[in-house]
Structure 1
Amino acid sequence: MLVTLTALTSPLAFAADAPKNVAAAVADTTRPETDTKRDADRKPAEVLAFTGVKTGDKVLDLVAGGGYFSRLFAGAVGPTGAVYMFNPTEFTKNSKNPVPANGSKPDPAHPNITFVNTSINELKAPEKVDIVWTSQNYHDLHKTYMGEGFDIAKFNKVVFDQLKPGGTFIVLDHSAKAGTGRADIESLHRIDEATVKKEVEAAGFKYEGSLDVLRNKSDDRSAKVFDPAIRSKTDQFVLKFRKPN
């Protein structure tokens, strides 16, 4: 069954109605202020509830950046779960900030997070996971700095293989105009969601539905996502795919 969910209540009201593990993760007082200041735009309670994350789950946060969602997932899965915070070397090689060593625990407040830092072509989680998550980075996997040997079709199959049967792959990204395919990736950092669906389903995933809470009809999708007029308020899609049992 395909499901499209919309936000019918305020974020705070939804957080109160969210699954207990999700509400606790959002309310976690160890979350840094730099994270909580972003909650109004990122709607973490709604988004995590949509993923279906449960206590004890194993999660791979794909191209995790600074770990905003890694910390949320760490709270949601609890001490019996695990979060693998993956930042590929293709993304970190020019970073001015120290990159945690592969296999290290980068966040003392969330010891169930383990850092994974390898080439994206060598991605392999320490164990099969229940959820693979990527936020605002799927479009980056098509960019020129990925190298000539990178193949998005092969990569989606790698993601498929990281999941347990019945596991889910969630893709959140900036929306491009319908029908534009990959045309706006380099210039606007946006991708057509129909292209994402086509590519992910080709790896064997089954599309399950979308979440509309990050949609913004006032974004005409013609501006670069870093434009101050639209930054943090772009029209974004959240798509859920499942690996068949």
Structure 2
Amino acid sequence: MRSLPVSLVVVPLVALAVACGGSQPPADTAKTEEPAQAPATDTTTPTKAEKPAAEAKVPEAIAAIVAAPDRAEADRALDAGRKPAELLAFLDIRPGMKVAEIAAGGGYTAELLARAVGPAGKVYGQNSKFILERFAEKPWAERLQKPVMKNVVRVDREFDEPLPPEAKDLDAVVMVLFYHDTVWMKTDRDKMNKTIFNALRSGGVYGIVDHSAKAGSGTSEAQTTHRIEEKVLREEVEKAGFKLAGEASFLRNEKDTRDWNASPMKAGELRGTSDRFVLKFVKP
């Protein structure tokens, strides 16, 4: 998708895809089916966080949110590969919370957050001009018309400062399968992470999900394979003042060779099978 390198549009589509029946305009849609040819086991071990992996049990209330019959079929089709119930449980999203999603795309995750925090809560759904113009405007605008989205505030801002001044004392900020995109988009990530840090209350959570790149690759594959090395991402986020509070393995795949393009438009049968890390950072 190269208008700004084609890969530019590809990545954000993860989230968008969901919104349009794909993944969240930066979020990624994926199927859990095994690829026709299982990739050979990678010789390098995915980076492990220093903290022990934490697997969150899914409360009945969250399971019910994901199973809600009024959710769009296109969204429900993405659940197997995205495991939204596990993500909401791991990040401990509860009724009444104030949360935000960076790179909401078409709104797959934003809608789930809206359902989880309920009418007493609030969700800030952010998208940049590039994402909106290339693929998210229509699906995002249409989704915002749904009654369940009444507690969602549309935020059109660039990634350097993704949240407005009024978004403060937030309980959680989420970014799903998009952090790597901020690399090729030349985002000032230090500024972005600091803005998110300042918007959270003490104890607030910054949850990030992304495609894992090989050890030592750093950010070099952000545009070519749409992946980022976990170690580098952690260092960038911690530099802003965050502390790693935990990681989860429900999206891990040790069979992923991590040498193919994980973007939803390029992955083909492998879509949804990438090794993905799920990290939870906390503002002290």
Shared fold, TM over 0.5: yes
Aligned to 1:39: 79
Aligned to 1:64: 104
Is 1:95 equivalent to 2:135 in the alignment?
A: yes
Is 1:140 equivalent to 2:177 in the alignment?
A: no
Instruction: Quickly say closer, same or farther: Cα 1:100–1:71, change in 2 above 3 A.
Output: closer
Q: Is 222-231 or 104-113 further displaced after alignment?
A: 104-113
Contact kept in structure 1, 2:160 and 2:189, CA below 8 Å: no
Contact kept in structure 2, 1:89 and 1:120, CA below 8 Å: no
Contact kept in structure 2, 1:209 and 1:241, CA below 8 Å: yes
Among 183, 193, 199, the alignment partner of 2:236 is 199
Aligned to 1:130: 171
1:44 Cα deviation from its structure 2 partner: 1.3
Contact kept in structure 2, 1:219 and 1:230, CA below 8 Å: no
Aligned to 2:255: 218
Aligned to 1:14: none
Deviations 1:179-229 (A, max 9, x none): 210111111000000011000000000011111000111210000012213
Secondary structure of the equivalent of 2:213?
Answer: coil
For residues 194 and 139 of structure 2, the distance between their equivalents in structure 1, rounded to whole angstroms, comes to 27
- Higher relative contact order by CA 8 Å / sep ≥ 6: 1 or 2? 2
Deviations 1:128-147 (A, max 9, x none): 2110000000001111x34x
Aligned to 1:112: 151
1:230 Cα deviation from its structure 2 partner: 1.6
TM-score (structure 1 length as normaliser): 0.86
Unaligned runs of 5+ residues in structure 1 are: 8-16
Contact kept in structure 2, 1:156 and 1:203, CA below 8 Å: yes
Q: Which amino acid aligns with 1:168?
A: V
1:6 Cα deviation from its structure 2 partner: 4.5
Contact kept in structure 1, 2:107 and 2:140, CA below 8 Å: no
1:170 Cα deviation from its structure 2 partner: 0.4
Moved over 4 A (4+): none
TM-score (structure 2 length as normaliser): 0.75
Among 66, 70, 73, the alignment partner of 1:26 is 66
Q: Is 226-235 or 90-99 further displaced after alignment?
A: 90-99
Instruction: Quickly say closer, same or farther: Cα 1:209–1:77, change in 2 above 3 A.
Output: same
Instruction: Quickly say closer, same or farther: Cα 1:36–1:100, change in 2 above 3 A.
Output: closer
Contact kept in structure 1, 2:106 and 2:136, CA below 8 Å: no
CA RMSD of aligned residues (A): 2.1
Deviations 1:42-80 (A, max 9, x none): 111111100011110111011011111111111111111
For residues 218 and 2 of structure 1, the distance between their equivalents in structure 2, rounded to whole angstroms, comes to 23
Q: Is 225-234 or 190-199 further displaced after alignment?
A: 225-234
1:18 Cα deviation from its structure 2 partner: 2.0
Among 54, 58, 82, the alignment partner of 1:5 is 54
Aligned to 1:189: 226
Unaligned runs of 5+ residues in structure 2 are: 1-49
Contact kept in structure 2, 1:184 and 1:191, CA below 8 Å: yes
Instruction: Quickly say closer, same or farther: Cα 1:179–1:96, change in 2 above 3 A.
Output: closer
Identical-pair percentage: 39
Paired residues, number: 229
Aligned to 1:12: none
Deviations 1:20-55 (A, max 9, x none): 431232122221111111111111111110001111
* 1:152-171 superposed matches below 5 A: 152-171=189-208
Aligned to 1:86: 126
